[in-house]
């Protein structure tokens, strides 16, 4: 029984370190993990550069194995110290942990085609968000998320209109321009419409005829003006939130029931009654 208790204690301690950031050890673990993830992602990137890979292949391979083993240990620890292991394993972060660790082991068996597989390790980057959930920037990112969430229907309507518009404009340009300018099919013309509408403008496909350039000019001015819409939506939402939340008390005066008292008000601005009474 004492052994069971001890084990429980040990697992509780580990759970605190790995899953929470309140204790000193928990914070240290998070910071260490953060750097390990960043190091591992940088390694994946450098490994994809052919000239570097051919030179330092052995170094990359050994470091990657070391990191993979560390992540494997972390993965096992996470399963061991949690009460409901299965709910972790099939959670969003559980799946990311698994699929970003496994590729290196698979590469032992399939040597040839492992390149694409290894890029899966970039998924580790998503793990950073788990660590940051416990960080200090949560408040602000929550505000942003709330603003985006509040205006999600407006944004969806906007995106939908953009997609329809690009499809129609792409089809029109397919009819107007010929193959030489790069408008070889309707999907490719739609791709051009998106590139132009969003003001990216690669230039790999560009209208050559006068009529095509005229239509393209309209598309550009349209795209240039349309950007005002999402900006306006989000601006207005953030303005409203910050005006409501930051400056105005939710308490109304008990005497005259006036509202919209500024945050640091003690007395009602209308009748002079004490607000906290």
Q: Which of residues 228-247 bind a second copy (CB under 8 A)?
A: 228-244, 246-247
Residue 137 near a second copy by CB under 8 A: yes
**14 versus 117: smaller Cβ distance to a second copy:** 117
Residue 251 near a second copy by CB under 8 A: no
Residue 43 near a second copy by CB under 8 A: no
In the complex, the smallest distance separating the C-beta of residue 201 from a second copy, rounded to whole angstroms, is 4
Residue 140 near a second copy by CB under 8 A: yes
Cα separation of 168 and 189, whole Å? 10
Distance of CA 100 to the CA centre of its chain: 17
Residue 95 near a second copy by CB under 8 A: no
Read off the tokens for 271. Answer: 């009748």
**17 versus 124: smaller Cβ distance to a second copy:** 124
Helix (H, G, I), strand (E, B), or coil: what is residue 274?
A: strand
In the complex, the smallest distance separating the C-beta of residue 42 from a second copy, rounded to whole angstroms, is 9
Applying the rule CB under 8 A, the residues between 45 and 64 that interact with a second copy are: 45-46, 48-50
**119 versus 134: smaller Cβ distance to a second copy:** 119
Residue 194 near a second copy by CB under 8 A: yes
Cβ neighbours for 206, distance < 8 A, ≥ 6 positions apart = 181, 182, 216
Query: Among 16-24, 54-62, 91-99, 125-133, which window interacts with a second copy (CB under 8 A)?
Result: 125-133
Query: Among 74-82, 89-97, 100-108, 227-235, which window interacts with a second copy (CB under 8 A)?
Result: 227-235
Q: Are the C-beta atoms of 145 and 133 separated by less than 8 Å?
A: no
Residue 270 near a second copy by CB under 8 A: yes
Q: Are the C-beta atoms of 34 and 128 separated by less than 8 Å?
A: yes
Per-residue DSSP letter, 22? S
Tell me the CA end-to-end span of the chain in Å, nearest whole number.
Answer: 56
Cα separation of 170 and 269, whole Å? 59
Ordered DSSP codes for 114-144: HHHHHGGGGGGGGHHHHHHTTSSTHHHHHHH
Residue 149 near a second copy by CB under 8 A: no
């Amino acid at each position: 029984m004492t052994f069971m208790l001890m084990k429980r204690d040990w697992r509780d301690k580990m759970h605190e370190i790995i899953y929470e950031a309140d204790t000193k050890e928990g914070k240290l673990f998070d910071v260490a993990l953060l750097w390990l993830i960043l190091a591992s992602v940088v390694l994946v990137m450098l490994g994809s550069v052919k000239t570097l890979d051919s030179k330092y292949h052995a170094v990359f391979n050994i470091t990657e194995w070391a990191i993979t083993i560390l992540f494997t240990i972390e993965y096992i620890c996470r399963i061991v110290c949690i009460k409901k292991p299965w709910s972790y394993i099939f959670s969003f972060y559980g799946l990311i942990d698994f699929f970003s660790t496994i590729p290196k082991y698979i590469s032992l068996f399939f040597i040839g085609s492992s390149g694409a597989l290894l890029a899966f390790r970039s998924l580790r980057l998503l793990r950073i968000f788990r660590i940051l959930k416990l960080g200090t920037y949560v408040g602000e990112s929550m505000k942003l998320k709330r603003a985006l969430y509040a205006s999600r229907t407006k944004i969806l309507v906007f995106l939908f209109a953009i997609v329809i518009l690009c499809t129609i404009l792409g089809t029109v340009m397919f009819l107007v321009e010929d193959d030489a300018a790069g408008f070889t099919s309707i999907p490719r013309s739609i791709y051009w419409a998106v590139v132009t509408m969003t003001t990216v403008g690669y230039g790999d496909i560009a209208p050559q005829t006068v009529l095509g350039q005229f239509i393209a000019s309209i598309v550009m001015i349209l795209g240039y003006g349309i950007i005002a819409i999402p900006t306006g939506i989000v601006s207005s939402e953030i303005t409203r939130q910050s005006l409501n939340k930051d400056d105005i008390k939710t308490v109304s005066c008990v005497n005259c029931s006036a509202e919209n008292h500024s945050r640091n008000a003690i007395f009602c601005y209308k009748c002079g009654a004490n607000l906290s009474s």
